[in-house]
Structures are given as C-alpha cells and as structure tokens.
Amino acid sequence: MGKRIFFSVGEPSGDQHAARFITELAKIDPSIEMVGFGGPEMQRAGCRIDLDLTQHAVVGLLEVLPKIRQFFGFADQAEAVFAKGDIDAVVLVDFPGFNWHIAKRAKRYGIPVHYYCPPQLWAWAPWRIRKMRRSVDHVWSVLPFEHQYFQERGLNSTYIGHPFFDSVAETKLDSQLMTEFSKATDDGSPIVAVLPGSRGHEVRGNFPIMLQAIRRLHQRYPNARFAVAACRDTQGLWCRDQLTVDDQALPIDFYVGKTSEIIEAAQCAMMVSGSVSLELMARRTPAAVIYRVGRFLHTVGSRLIQVDSLTLPNLIAGRKIFPEFVSVGATDPAVDFLTESIDSMLGDQFYFHSLLRDLDRLRSDFAAPGASAKLAQAIFQKLEPGSAGSNFAGPSSEGPSFAGRRAA
C-alpha cells in the first residue's frame, strides 16, 4: 500500500511553499498520496484538499476568538482522518495557532509530525518551545538563525533554506508585462512597487497609508509610476475604490497575481511586513516596510516580541537594511516614513547603491534555491523503513542562481 501524507497549511504563502514541495515529492515517488488542509496551489500540485484552510487565515487574538469553535471543528475533522490509521506522516506549514492542535492530535495516533516553515518562536512566545518538543518530531528550518535556535533548545532541526528562493528562481515572468515596464523605465519613469499585503485586513489597514504617500511622492517625482500588487481580485478592486476624483491623474496601476513582475521591474518598493521581503531581497529591490497594528495588539506585542526587527532580510543580516515602521494610532507618521524612505531611494543614488550592495551580499550567502527538492528527498527517506533520513545534510553552500539586473 502506498504512503499517505496529511498536510495542514493555512497561509497563502504556505500554500505556495507546500505546493512546490508536493510537486518535488511526486517526482520522487508518484504513488505517495497527499491529502489534507491547504489551498488552491496545493490542489493544482496534486494534493486532495479536504478543506481550503487558506480562506480562514487570521492573525491576532481579536480575529481568532470569533472563529475558535470553527477551528476546533477543523481539528476534529483532521483527527477523524488520523483515526483511520493510514496516515504515514503529517506535514505542517506555518499557521501555528491552529497547527499546534493538528500536531497534538496526530501524536495521539503515533504519526510522525514534520514542521516546515516553523513558527517564529525566536521572535515571540518562546515558552511554546515545550509544546513543540512534545508534538513535533522534526523541524525543517528555512532560516539559518532559527535552525540554531531550535537545535539549542533540544529539537531535531535541519536547515534547508527558504522556499521563497525556489519560487523566485522558477517563476516565469510575464514577458509582455515586463516589456511594458521596461519601456516605462527606459523613458525615465522609475517604477515603485506597492505591496499592501496578502491578507484582507493587511490591505485595508495599510493601503490607505500607502496611497497618501503616493500622493506626496507624485508631487516630488511626477515621472514615477506606482504599481500595486494585489493577491486577489477583491483586494485589487478594494484598493482601486480608495482612489478619489482628485486621484485620477495619479500614475498608479493595479495588478492581480503579478507581484514577481512588479518586484523585478521596480527600482524600490513600499511594502507590508511579510515573507515577500525575501523575494525583494532575491530580486535586489530595496523596500521601506510598514505594518499597521491596533493599540491593544501593539501593547501586547511589545511585551512578547523578542526581536528588534519585523523584516526577514534585516534579521538575516543582523541589522536594518530595509527601513521599517510600525504604525499605531495616527497615520501621519507612517505616511511621513514611507514618503521620506522612498524619496531617499529614488533621489539619493549613493544611498540606493549602498542598499544594492547590502542585498548582493545577502543573496550570495543565503538566497540559494533548492529547498523544496531537498525537503522532498529528506521526507521521502524518512517514510522508508530503516532509512537514514535523519542524516540529511541540508543545503549546499553554493550561492544563488538569480540573474540580478542592476549594477551596484
């Protein structure tokens, strides 16, 4: 009888990472059956999706509370699958608030639990490490410092690199759109990427701030164009609806599903904090980072968060390469921050090229693709009786294969 793997993936980005892993695993052994909770990308890769968990992505206590009963129902649904006794491994991707429950229930039935893109306990809630030791058999770390963190705390961890770099290396860009962008930049119109986030609440909280900054920047750089990257049609339409009659002259365009093209073409970006910062790092696109948060969550978070940066390239580098700002209360400070940060990237060539040199060093050291294939091989070995999967060596030290298009 073939092997069966159950997935639990709740974030849109996790859906993409898991889909790439599923594709790689199917190349090794097409007979492995993959089922569980995930999203449309996983389904297209060949996983049977029993629940589109990506439609229920939430962040923060205030969003979780109204859905607690629903999430427990989802966990019951997963446990019913585990109880049948034919699941050989559980693979969790991010989404820790819910996936803790999936891990706990899988362990009741003796099913090995693998955590890919693990929860960022090094950033917040470090006391949960005990829960992770009890319910997770192996952590597949995607960042070098988190691998060290988990190992030092008694967890089986392997550093395999971040799957975002697989995505960047494999993505086929829309050639027609890239030609349009190239014509604009050749005509002396720099492109500024506008990345308002992947979740609805992020877009609603941050895009109005970005729009105000765009208005100001247009006065300073009338030739600059602003390309807004939306993850979903509904988000793109909502952003477009925020424009007023007075904004009709703004050189702003809205795109859905074209984030990679926009990042590749842009001279710089304004973005909401998130893992897309790794694609900006890989494509050598400097960014100013904001995140809008309520006063209550900010008060709680300031007591829990253990790191001094929101942005993954900054954490990897150990210093602030991307300027960042947490917006609480009045929005004017965030608008000022975005305006002045992007102004510096567009207008100060010495500063701009120093950012490119910093990004080049990070790319060389940490942006090698291949994480998905390495994980697939490692998980496959662990599925085989008597395998030496635990001796998986991790990624090579070779640098990235990204072309990079700007001269530092």
Residues 267 and 126 in one domain: no
Task: With respect to residue 399, please indicate whether it lies within any of the assigned structural domains.
Answer: no
Taking residues 36-47, what's their average pLDDT?
96
Task: With respect to residue 396, please indicate whether it lies within any of the assigned structural domains.
Answer: no
In which band, very low, low, confident or very high, does the pLDDT at 296 lie, cut at 50, 70 and 90? low
pLDDT at 404 over 50: no
Tell which of 132, 159, 186 closes a domain.
159
H helix intervals, 171-226: 175-186, 200-220
Q: What is the pLDDT of residue 307?
A: 57
Residues 288 and 334 in one domain: yes
Task: With respect to residue 387, please indicate whether it lies within any of the assigned structural domains.
Answer: no
Residues 91 and 193 in one domain: no
pLDDT at 406 over 80: no
Detail the DSSP E strand segments found in 132-201: 138-141, 157-159, 191-195
Task: With respect to residue 375, please indicate whether it lies within any of the assigned structural domains.
Answer: no
Q: What is the pLDDT of residue 302?
A: 60
In the chain, the number of structural domains is: 2
Distance, C-alpha 309 to centroid of its chain: 16
C-alpha to C-alpha distance for 285 and 193, rounded to whole angstroms = 9
Question: For 322-356, how does the pLDDT look when each residue is reduced to its tens digit (9 = 90+)?
Answer: 999 988 889 999 999 999 999 999 999 999 999 99
Residues 62 and 99 in one domain: yes
133 residue type, one letter: R
Residues 207 and 66 in one domain: no
Task: With respect to residue 395, please indicate whether it lies within any of the assigned structural domains.
Answer: no
φ, ψ (nearest 5 deg) of residue 219: -65, -35
pLDDT at 18 over 80: yes
Question: For 84-106, how does the pLDDT look when each residue is reduced to its tens digit (9 = 90+)?
Answer: 999 999 999 998 889 999 999 99
Residues 220 and 285 in one domain: yes
Residues 289 and 222 in one domain: yes
Sign for the pseudo-dihedral over CA of 32, 33, 35, 39: positive
Residues 43 and 138 in one domain: yes
Here the CATH number for the domain that contains residue 48 is 3.40.50.2000
pLDDT at 34 over 70: yes
Tell which of 328, 346, 365 closes a domain.
365
Structure tokens at 207: 């895009």
Task: With respect to residue 390, please indicate whether it lies within any of the assigned structural domains.
Answer: no
Print the domain residue range for 22. Answer: 4-159
pTM, two decimals, is 0.77
Tokens 């923060």 correspond to what residue? Answer: 60
Share of the chain above pLDDT 70, in %: 88
φ, ψ (nearest 5 deg) of residue 244: -95, 175
pLDDT at 392 over 50: no
Taking residues 204-208, what's their average pLDDT?
94
Q: What is the pLDDT of residue 76?
A: 96
Task: With respect to residue 140, please indicate whether it lies within any of the assigned structural domains.
Answer: yes
**Mean pLDDT, the chain, as a whole number?**
88
Residues 51 and 106 in one domain: yes
Sign for the pseudo-dihedral over CA of 23, 24, 30, 31: negative
* Beta strand 48-52 pairing with 33-38: parallel
Residues 115 and 183 in one domain: no
Residues 137 and 194 in one domain: no
- Among 7-21, 119-133, 231-245, 311-325, which stretch is predicted with the lowest mean pLDDT? 119-133
Higher pLDDT among residues 307 and 260, named by residue = 260
Question: For 54-86, how does the pLDDT look when each residue is reduced to its tens digit (9 = 90+)?
Answer: 887 655 444 555 567 888 899 999 999 999 999
Tell which of 127, 159, 191 closes a domain.
159
Task: With respect to residue 313, please indicate whether it lies within any of the assigned structural domains.
Answer: yes
Residues 349 and 213 in one domain: yes
How many other C-beta atoms lie within 10 A of the C-beta of residue 201? Answer: 14
